[in-house]
Amino acid sequence: MKLPHIAAAVLLIIGFLFLVTAGFLGEWFWFGSTGYQEVFLTIILARISLFAAAFLIFFAFSFINAWFAAKTASGGAVKNRGNLWIAGALAGLAGLLAALWVSSSWETILKYISQVPFSLEDPVFGLDIGFYIFSLPFYSLATSFAIGLLVFSILLSALSYLLKEDWISFSESGQIFIKAGEAGPDWSGLLKRFLPQLNLLLFLLFAAIAAKLWLARYDLLFNRSGAVFGAGYTDVHVTLPVLTLLTAVALVIGIGFLVNERLKSLSVIKYGIAAFIAIAVVGLLASFAVQGLIVQPNELNLEKQYLENNIEYTLKAYGLSDAEETPFNVSYDLTAQDIEDNRLTAENIRLWDWRPLKSTYEQLQLFRTYYAFNDVDVDRYEINGSYKEVLISAREMDTGSLSSTAQTWVNTHLVYTHGYGVVMTPVDEVTSEGLPEFYIKDIPPSSEYIEIDQPRIYFGEMTNQYIITDTDTEELDYPSGEANVYTSYSGDTGVKLSGIINRLIYGIKFGSLELVVSGSINDESRILMHRNIVDRASAIAPFLSYDNDPYVVVADGKLYWIIDAYTSSDMYPYSEPVGASFINGYKTSYLRNSVKTVVDAYTGEVTYYVIDPDDPVIGTYRKIFPELFRDFSDMPEELKDHIRYAQGLFEIQADRYATYHMKDPVVFYNREDEWVIPDEVYREDREQMQPYYVIMKLPKEDSEEFILMLPFTPIGKENMIGWMAGRSDTPDYGDLIVYQFSKQELTYGPMQIEARIDQDTEISQAITLWSQSGSSVLRGNTLVIPIENSILYVEPLYLQATERGTLPQLKRVIVAYDDRLTMQNTLEEALGVIFGGAVAQEAADAAESGGAGTVVTADSELLQKIAALYYKAQDALANGDLGEYQYYIEEIGKIVTGTA
């Protein structure tokens, strides 16, 4: 190899090492700025140690075997080193790949070492559940590594035997020569000398295969056979004995190879392999025969025990075994006094759906194109001494909305650095124009109820790029009239860019020359990265899964984000898995919301609070990373007031419970009482209901609380059969309650209420008229609100003009109760129509005063006028007079929009 080539190779290696080092140092410095450098160090040291150990084991074992094979083949010392170089290069490459694979499994190995028992045994083998979640993956990894190593070693050793020493030679200049015309190897002689080593390697290989087969016995607990998820009758009585027998035969075959050198007989090996194949084939045929001829004709009786295992362990895996089940005997005897006694529930019925409300926020509260609301979250606050459900959204920075000419490196990384403040509205209050009332609004935030001392949002859901603070370029703080207010970040978050080395490291990391050469950056400047809160939390603790809906909280004058973090596994025996897109896109058969992750929106400080210390998985992680987690008791009280039942967990629990509430194996087998999550109509489309938060007084409870709830309907039917509630307030946080309706009485489901709305001539006529007059009607969520022992149904209607940029307005509220249905301007009016009494009087007083909470729109006389114009428009259309038709439609539009 010529000198220029060597120099180029050296430069390439140096460049590669520098890039790797720069990437490592960039993360090392960043972890240091977060206070979690020990976590990073633990993971890195684990990966490096595993990589080194796996590489050394794989390389040393395979190369020593290759060297020994070459030495034996040559009858003494190896003369031609070229063969060893080839073997070493192949062993090194294979070892590198194996080491990368093993090091990527660092979590599996650390969990095995630090595992915490579940103190619960499986029903077949009597092993602790922790064996399946922590130990079995490790044993499977180890046996796979061993099998791969032994197969490669056999092949590499065979190659060394086949390469005679004089086949290949190297010149002084490094060129390779293959001699032509030489006779081939002495096959019989080579094989004879190779047999002792081959026998030993094959013994080890079959021993590893036997271990793999032994572990496969435990995999039966994750099998689906017939009606059961997990080991069924055929698995236990046929497949399990067959796998046990195959394990023994594989081990005997291995011993046959080991003793072959002494006995000089292949009988044990031949008969062993024949027996192995025969047992495997017979076992496979037997399993089909037993399943088809014995189990299926008598499936219920034979699988009953295993169905019980499936039901019991699925409920335990998803935290459903402790769900309180209670009957809910529906009685339609609510009175006005009952509504008054549950006033806090009625006042917190959510009339604002987050989707049209988000559009309204964007029209009323963005002020500049570079701000954006990512979504709207539901929470609760004490407002003037009253427990109030609210909707809240963070006003984040979206530099992508800047004009293309303004999206310079300086603007996107130095100037437009943070969002500003939040918007908060009560769930039920409406202005006379059909718009939301505000508890917090504007820039800077103004509020009569809640104080915000630090409204800046440097870390959020939409902050997906790095920024640099404390530069010589001023940061935009917020717009103020025709001018702007500027600020400088005062937090100590981020990595200081003092010195050319740090700037070069992050310039390489982000591929930014500007970061290296910018004159605005000084020694006090800091780079803030991983600013997306989910990305930030997962960068620190990648072994947890995170909910896809973080929510913003105002506490102690600051803004915080709370993210529900989950522990999960797909190795819980007898538990039927579900696909969960928010859990890293993988299936899971065990799930716990064990951690509440809190991120400071200004400083980016991340804190992991363990809210479920009884979870063995989080207990294992706490042993691995003792400095990472904090007890829930350490969380500030103001933040504790805002924890809520995790929606992602609740959705999976509801999905599993819809089937696994059938605890009787006979009922479960026949699917006699299977439930589904019902549909509703949103806008004009049918879609599955989502869980929703509500403040209400649960049956037999003394006070209202914040819960997450979802109704159920029987499969194939629309009537409601029950509902599930997840409690969010301490000390009852995390409790699940399932209320079951009588199967002998009809309780309307959401789609039956939707059908009643569509069949009501007055309501459907009004919706049709509004939809044809330059406006569109948005049908909001159908809320099922249990009050006492009755069920109230509430659906808001929004009106939005078809022109771009118009505001959705809350114009009507539909309330259904028993056989009564009404649509009124306000919830108070609707309740008054249905229940009368004091409720009706309060609604009348509110309408007369025209105060907040009242929507002043067309009365019945105005509706008749609209109807008359509508029929005239239809007559004109039937006569082909499009001009007259357009005139009447425009008149209707003027009446509806209040411009007549």
What confidence tens digit (pLDDT) does each residue in 62-99 have? Answer: 999 998 888 877 666 665 666 778 888 999 999 999 99
pLDDT at residue 857, rounded to an integer: 38
pLDDT (average), residues 727-745: 93
Query: Is the confidence at residue 854, as pLDDT, over 70?
Result: no
- Answer yes or no: is pLDDT of 874 > 70: no
Helix axes 81-103, 136-162, angle to 10 degrees: 170
Cα 535 from Cα 796, distance rounded (Å): 36
Tell me what pLDDT residue 402 has: 92
pLDDT > 90 in the chain, percent: 69
pLDDT in tens, 148-203: 999 999 999 888 877 654 444 545 555 555 454 445 555 555 567 778 888 999 99
pLDDT at position 856 over 90: no
Categorize the per-residue pLDDT at 23 as very low, low, confident or very high, splitting at 50, 70 and 90.
Answer: confident
pLDDT at residue 840 is higher than 90: no
pTM value > 0.85:
yes
Kindly give, in sequence order, each residue whose CB lies less than 8 Å from that of residue 253, ignoring residues fewer than 6 positions away: 206, 268, 269, 272, 273, 276
Confidence of residue 15 (pLDDT cuts 50, 70, 90): low
Which range, 8-12, 384-388, 557-561, is most confident?
Answer: 557-561
Q: Which of 365-379, 655-669, 872-886 has the lowest mean pLDDT?
A: 872-886
DSSP string, 746-757: ----HHHHHHHH
State residue 164's pLDDT score: 57
Max Cα–Cα distance, the chain, nearest Å: 112
Q: 37-73 and 81-103 are packed helices; what angle lies between their axes, rounded to 10 degrees?
A: 150
Torsion, Cα of 194, 195, 198, 202 (10° steps) = 170
Least confident range of 171-180, 252-261, 809-818, 820-829:
171-180
Dihedral of CA 884/890/896/899: which sign? negative
pLDDT of residue 147: 97
Q: Of the segments 178-192, 346-360, 617-631, 866-880, which one has the largest average pLDDT value? A: 617-631
Structure confidence at residue 592 (pLDDT): 97
Span 742-752, mean pLDDT? 90
Summarised one tens digit per residue, pLDDT across range 32-47 is 999 999 999 999 999 9
pLDDT at 516 over 50: yes
Between the alpha carbon of residue 746 and those of residues 110, 329, 460, 782, the distances in Å are 54, 11, 46, 18
The separation between the first and the last C-alpha atoms of the chain, rounded to the nearest angstrom, is 91
Mean residue pLDDT of the chain comes to 88
207-221 pLDDT, tens digit per residue, is: 999 999 999 999 999
> DSSP secondary-structure letter at 632?
G
The distance from CA 769 to its chain's CA centroid, rounded to whole angstroms, is: 42
Residue-level pLDDT at 634: 97
What pLDDT, in 10s, does the model give residues 602-651? Answer: 999 999 999 999 999 999 999 999 999 999 999 999 999 999 999 999 99
Lowest average pLDDT, out of 120-129, 252-261, 340-349, 876-885, goes to 876-885
| Amino acid 853: pLDDT | 43
Poorest-pLDDT segment among 5-14, 356-365, 770-779: 5-14
Residue with tokens 């029987």: 714
Q: In the prediction, which pLDDT does 86 show? A: 83
Cβ atoms of 716 and 653 within 8 Å: the answer is no
**Would you list the domain boundaries of the chain?**
16-165+185-291, 535-643
Whether residue 851 is predicted with pLDDT greater than 50 in this model: the reply is no
pLDDT the model gives residue 5: 59
Between CA 857 and CA 434 the distance in angstroms is: 9
Alpha carbon separation from 873 to 860, 889, 892 (Å, rounded): 20, 7, 10
- Rounded Cα distance, 317 and 599, in Å: 29
Predicted pLDDT at 855: 37
CA distances from 279 to 123, 275, 287, 290, 505 (A): 27, 6, 12, 16, 61
Residue ranges of E strands in 756-872: 775-779, 783-787, 790-801, 809-817, 820-824
d(C-alpha 366, C-alpha 552), whole Å: 17
Dihedral pair phi/psi, residue 314, rounded to 5°: -65, -45
State yes or no: pLDDT of 676 exceeds 90.
Answer: yes
- Both tokens assigned to 8: 């180029």
Strands 809-817 and 820-824: what pairing?
antiparallel
Region 98-126: mean pLDDT is 97
pLDDT score for 299: 94
Please enumerate in sequence order all residues whose Cβ is within 8 A of that of 639, keeping only pairs 6 or more positions apart, or say none: 553, 555, 560, 562, 598
Nearest to 40 by CA among 22, 52, 27, 49: 27
From residue 549, how far is each of 173, 360, 406, 427, 582 by CA, in Å? Answer: 64, 20, 31, 19, 9
pLDDT score, position 78 = 61
Percent of the chain with pLDDT over 70: 87
Confidence of residue 432 (pLDDT cuts 50, 70, 90): confident
Pairing assessment for the beta strands 705-714 and 722-727 based on DSSP bridges:
antiparallel
